[in-house]
Amino acid sequence: MIKVVAKQYIKDGSLEEFLPVAKALVEETNKKDEGCLKYEMYQDLSDPLVVTVIEEWESQEVLDKHMKAKHFTDAMPKIGALCEKSADINIYKKLF
């Protein structure tokens, strides 16, 4: 199992525009992407402009497929334009 944590920094004033794009990506991913165990979006309680996707994938292979899927490649430029800086992305394996 591969775990991904992608912390995104939304531009001030862009959250309202960001949320529907992000929601559609979460819904499409959960519906379409084989091997997706979990794909959820979270908002920081002390800074609402920090929005983080926490994902679980069966393997690196299905994660790679996801990153080539249309719903992902369509969403990324839109999300990128609404972000302050690039996301902090970590890809993890479970220790314990």
In the complex, which residues of this chain contact a second copy (CB under 8 A)?
2-3, 5, 7, 19, 22-23, 26-27, 40-46, 50-52, 54, 88, 90-96
Lookup: tokens for 84 = 């302050």
Question: Which residue's CB is nearer to a second copy, number 42 or number 58?
Answer: 42
CA atoms of 54 and 90, how far apart (whole Å): 10
Minimum CB separation from a second copy for residue 9, in Å?
A: 11
Nearest to 18 by CA among 30, 32, 28, 8: 8
Question: Which residue's CB is nearer to a second copy, number 26 or number 69?
Answer: 26
At 21, which amino acid appears? V
Question: Which residue's CB is nearer to a second copy, number 13 or number 95?
Answer: 95
What is the DSSP secondary structure assignment for residue 11, as one 8-state letter?
P
